[in-house]
């Protein structure tokens, strides 16, 4: 019995010692990521980047209207009537004044192998000093009529006078007009070359004179010039025309050079740069058009007749390239129509134009 009691006491003591023994502290570890059977181990999700908004593209809208003479965009139509002004072009009459404000400049032969110019102004009132002035010939009257313009000149040939009267052309004459003293003046600094090279006027004077003569100073909504403009008028299949020489006669030639940095042509004549005497800046052109027309001598003074109705050929240069073209004009009051040789309407660049008319039987245009 004592042995049994001793066994119980020993068992009890053993149980107490086990209960009082300190268990080692367990370290809690992060659970390993569970595996995704399909896509491999899962990782913590990365923050989603906020997408940048797509910028709205800027859409360039075409202006609703275009200038009749340069093709430049307009917010509203401009129906101001143009003026066509005769400009002296012999050597001693340089520099010409006001030509930088013209939209189109024509150069055509006059008697004796010289040329004269006709400057087309869409807004004559904005032009400053203009000149010097010279007398007009029948074919210059024709050019003015093709635009429905007021013709401005200092005298005329008998044939030109008949053309003006028979067609009722609105004109302003600096020699015979009763208004001439108010509209025209002699520049004393130009009289060294002769009185005939000293007549000048201004855009504001011409506008006021036309208004006083009660000439219409606007054109109708159906007005056309025959010029079709595009943003880039460079001929797709043109030949090189970085340099152009227009030979009117053995005495007179005009040389034009294309400048790639500006996309414009400048001109040299009489051995000097063609500049506007009002600011001494070079006169530049986007388009160069050379027309070939039948030319003949009509009197003992050597005056000419240039046929500017019917059909003819020519060249159009823009962006350093040139293509052959055709021109046509039905009647004196119609505008010129220009096409490519296949009959497709000619599209020219937005900007100012130089138009040379050379004799079919003597003039020449060289493109390089």
The pLDDT tens digits of the residues spanning 99-113 come to 999 999 999 999 999
Of the listed ranges 2-11, 183-192, 294-303, the least confidently predicted one is: 2-11
User: Quick one: pLDDT at residue 61?
Assistant: 78
Residue 180 near residue 199, CB atoms below 8 Å: no
Name every residue whose Cβ is closer than 8 Å to that of residue 111 and which is 6 or more positions away in sequence: 301, 302, 303, 304
Alpha-helical (H) ranges within the chain are 2-20, 138-146, 158-167, 180-183, 203-212
- Pairing status of strand 40-41 against strand 364-367: unpaired
Query: Lowest-confidence range among 5-19, 177-191, 236-250?
Result: 5-19
For residues 57 and 110, the answer to whether their CB atoms sit within 8 Å is no
Q: What's the rounded mean pLDDT across residues 198-218?
A: 97
Q: Give the three-class secondary structure for 269.
A: strand
pLDDT at site 35: 42
- Is residue 44's pLDDT more than 70? no
Whole-number percent of the chain with pLDDT over 70: 84
> Does the structure show a pLDDT above 90 at 92?
yes
The pLDDT assigned to 2 comes to 42
Query: What residues pair up with 272 in beta bridges, in sequence order?
Result: 269
The per-residue pLDDT for 180 is 81
pLDDT above 80: residue 41: no
pLDDT average, residue stretch 314-331: 98
> Whole-number mean pLDDT of the chain?
88
Q: State mean pLDDT over 132-153.
A: 98
| pTM for the whole structure | 0.84
| Predicted local confidence at residue 14, as pLDDT | 40
The C-alpha atoms of residue 110 and residue 138 are separated, in whole angstroms, by 11
CATH topology of domain 68-367: YerB-like fold (3.50.90)
Q: Give dist(CA 211, CA 305) in Å, integer.
A: 32
User: How confident is residue 179, by pLDDT bands cut at 50, 70 and 90?
Assistant: confident
């Amino acid at each position: 019995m004592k042995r049994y009691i001793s066994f119980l006491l020993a068992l009890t003591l053993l149980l107490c010692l086990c209960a009082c023994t300190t268990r080692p502290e367990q370290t809690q570890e992060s659970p390993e990521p569970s595996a995704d059977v399909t896509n491999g181990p899962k990782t913590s999700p990365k923050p989603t980047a906020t997408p940048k908004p797509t910028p709205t593209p800027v859409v360039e809208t075409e202006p609703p209207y275009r200038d009749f003479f340069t093709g430049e965009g307009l917010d509203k139509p401009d129906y101001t009537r143009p003026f066509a002004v005769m400009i002296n072009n012999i050597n001693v009459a340089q520099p010409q004044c006001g030509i930088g404000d013209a939209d189109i400049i024509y150069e055509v032969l006059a008697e004796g192998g010289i040329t004269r110019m006709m400057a087309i102004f869409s807004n004559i009132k904005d032009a400053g000093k203009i000149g010097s002035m010279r007398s007009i010939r029948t074919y210059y009257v024709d050019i003015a009529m093709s635009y429905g313009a007021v013709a401005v000149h200092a005298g005329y040939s008998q044939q030109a006078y008949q053309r003006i009267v028979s067609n009722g052309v609105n004109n302003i004459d600096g020699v015979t007009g009763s208004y001439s003293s108010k509209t025209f003046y002699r520049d004393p600094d130009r009289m060294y070359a002769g009185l005939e090279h000293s007549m000048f006027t201004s855009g504001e004077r011409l506008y006021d004179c036309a208004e006083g003569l009660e000439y219409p100073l606007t054109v109708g909504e159906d007005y056309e010039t025959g010029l079709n403009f595009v943003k880039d008028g460079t001929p797709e299949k043109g030949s090189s025309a970085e340099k152009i020489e227009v030979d009117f006669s053995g005495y007179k030639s005009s040389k034009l050079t294309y400048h790639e940095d500006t996309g414009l042509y400048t001109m040299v004549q009489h051995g000097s740069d063609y500049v506007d005497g009002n600011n001494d800046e070079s006169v530049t052109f986007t388009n160069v058009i050379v027309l070939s027309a039948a030319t003949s001598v009509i009197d003992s003074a050597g005056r000419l007749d240039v046929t500017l109705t019917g059909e003819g050929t020519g060249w159009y240069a823009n962006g350093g390239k040139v293509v052959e073209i055709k021109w046509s004009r039905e009647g004196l009051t119609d505008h010129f129509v220009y096409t490519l040789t296949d009959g497709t309407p000619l599209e020219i660049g937005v900007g100012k134009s130089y138009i040379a008319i050379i004799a079919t039987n003597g003039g020449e245009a060289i493109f390089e």
